[in-house]
Amino acid sequence: MDYVINTSLVQQHNAVLRADLEADYAALAGTLARRGQDIEKLTTLAQGFQVALPSWGVGTGGTRFARFPGVGEPRNVEEKLADCAVINQLTGATPLVSLHFPWDKPSDPKALFERAKSLGLSFDAVNSNTFQDQAGQAHTYKYGSLTAMSAAAREQAVQHNIECIELGRQLGSKGLTVWVGDGANFPGQSNLRGALERYLDSMRGIYAALPADWLMYIEHKLFEPAFYATTIADWGTSFACAQTLGEKAKCLVDLGHHAPNTNIEMIVARLAQFGKLGGFHFNDSKYGDDDLDSGSIDPFQLFLVFNELADAALRDGPAFKPAYMLDQSHNVTDPIESLMSSAVEVQRAYVQAALVDRIALAGFQEANDVHQAAQTLKRAFRTDVSPILAMARMRSGAAVDPVACYRTVGYRAQKAAERPAKAGASGSGIV
Ligand code: AOS
Ligand code: ZN
Ligand code: ZN
Ligand code: ZN
């Protein structure tokens, strides 16, 4: 395997922090043992955790107002993979990459597959893009893609999705994520029911092209770029479409795609109950689709989402396997640092959720002991599982402190020299 960072540098970094980590780990092991919990089981659980990286996340995303390019940004999909490999090497938690077409369209899919493999990476769901026009395309998406009034524009959007499936198949992906910005900016602009009928009709065409072992993830989003009525605005619409399309269609929950204060964990519980929870785009937000680092604004919400996932896993067993992906945009931080921190925060929520004493919780719920039920969740959430996460990383050959290690090895400075800035790098824009 090709390690992007010299492995002996990672080992040196770990050697310096090892004694302190072992002391912290032993202390936490004692605390957990008194609660009847085995730290070793939790560490193994943490080692098995995986969240996919968004290829578009390793470049500077920006907002719809401006984009401030960083130094050493990846200029093509191969360079994006190298950055993703760094994140995986240092966190041990991100061996999957989610590609976005046509931004990441490979000239030679087989070669890209091999390159990823040599870096220890494979491909998660591929994403189609019918929310912006590409140079030279025959029909504009200005007035919609899968829902457009123009049959030719709809057909072009369907064909693009089918092409994404074909590319993904060659890359070993097993899913297609469909997010469309279609909708209306003004009342009266479109017939609300008619738009969804056209959407379903287009999606049927895409669904028919899905290989047997693939899933289609329908991503809803409250608004933006359609500010009056987005066609797939909420989980209810997403759920109805997934039900209508069939078994292979599932719902994808991007945490930032809801109104502030929406109870997202309840949406997760509902979708899981009815077998339609396909996966996640993790990020955090204060107001809208802010695409901030996971756990940076509301880590308790992230924990509560994982608490529902732990409950669903217990009820449904190994069949319950939602896809975990990050979807963020970084305008003021180094994307590699943000993605590493986010992977760790999502993993933290996963381990904290495993700490919840579910038997005690069920007992408190049955007895209507509201205070103690709430405290049972809080106790798990308040537990600092950092030593478990760091130990999991050390045992997997990753870095005890990924960001510190990344800064020490000087990866970004090296890339700044190797990758001169390119104007209008792909993967920027709406996220
Ligand atoms: C858009 O808001 C969605 O989050 C999509 O997942 C989108 O395809 C992705 O963020 C890349 O722009
Ligand atoms: Zn998303
Ligand atoms: Zn987003
Ligand atoms: Zn989004």
Q: Are 47 and 54 in contact (CB under 8 A)?
A: no
DSSP conformational letter for 52: B
Is ligand 1 within 6 A of the CB of residue 258?
A: no
Is ligand 1 within 6 A of the CB of residue 280?
A: no
| Ligand 1: nearest atom to the Cα of 131 | 8
Summarize the confidence of residues 323-343 as an average pLDDT.
Answer: 97
Please give the angle made by the CA atoms of 21, 23 and 26, to the nearest 5 degrees. 105
pLDDT over 70 percentage in the chain: 98
CA distance 273 to 311: 10
**pLDDT tens, position by position, 53-70:** 999 999 887 888 888 888
Contacts of 70 (CB under 8 A, 6+ apart): 60, 334, 335
ipTM of this predicted complex? Answer: 0.97
Question: What backbone torsions phi and psi does residue 9 show, to the nearest 5 degrees?
Answer: -70, -35
Is ligand 1 within 6 A of the CB of residue 285?
A: no
CA of 282: how far to CAs of 64, 162, 327, 329, 350, in Å? 20, 26, 6, 11, 13
Question: What backbone torsions phi and psi does residue 163 show, to the nearest 5 degrees?
Answer: -65, -40
**Going from the N-terminus, what domains does the chain have, and what CATH number goes with each?**
50-357 (3.20.20.150)
Q: Are 177 and 215 in contact (CB under 8 A)?
A: no
**pLDDT tens, position by position, 250-294:** 999 999 999 999 999 999 999 999 999 999 999 999 999 999 999
Alpha-helix residue ranges (DSSP H) falling in 188-323: 192-207, 235-245, 264-273, 299-316
Compute the distance from residue 137 Cα to the ligand 2 centre, in Å: 24
Helix axes 402-409 and 411-418, enclosed angle (nearest 10): 50
Is ligand 1 within 6 A of the CB of residue 221?
A: yes
CA of 201: how far to CAs of 33, 127, 195, 196, in Å? 56, 19, 10, 8
The residue ranking higher by pLDDT, 418 or 61, is 418
Summarize the confidence of residues 151-169 as an average pLDDT.
Answer: 98
Summarize the confidence of residues 74-94 as an average pLDDT.
Answer: 98
Compute the distance from residue 367 Cα to the ligand 2 centre, in Å: 40
Q: Are 329 and 339 in contact (CB under 8 A)?
A: no
Ligand that comes closest to the CA of residue 294 = 3
Compute the distance from residue 258 Cα to the ligand 4 centre, in Å: 10
Ligand that comes closest to the CA of residue 284 = 3
Which of 41-45, 67-71, 279-283, 321-325 has the least mean pLDDT? Answer: 67-71
Tokens found for residue 53: 């990286």
Omega of the bond prior to 225 within 30 degrees of 0, cis? Answer: yes
The amino acid at residue 367 is A
Is ligand 1 within 6 A of the CB of residue 289?
A: yes
Is ligand 1 within 6 A of the CB of residue 403?
A: no
pLDDT at 422: 63
Compute the distance from residue 431 Cα to the ligand 4 centre, in Å: 5
Computed over its alpha carbons, how large is the radius of gyration of the chain?
22
Give the closest residue (by CA) to ligand 1 atom 1.
431
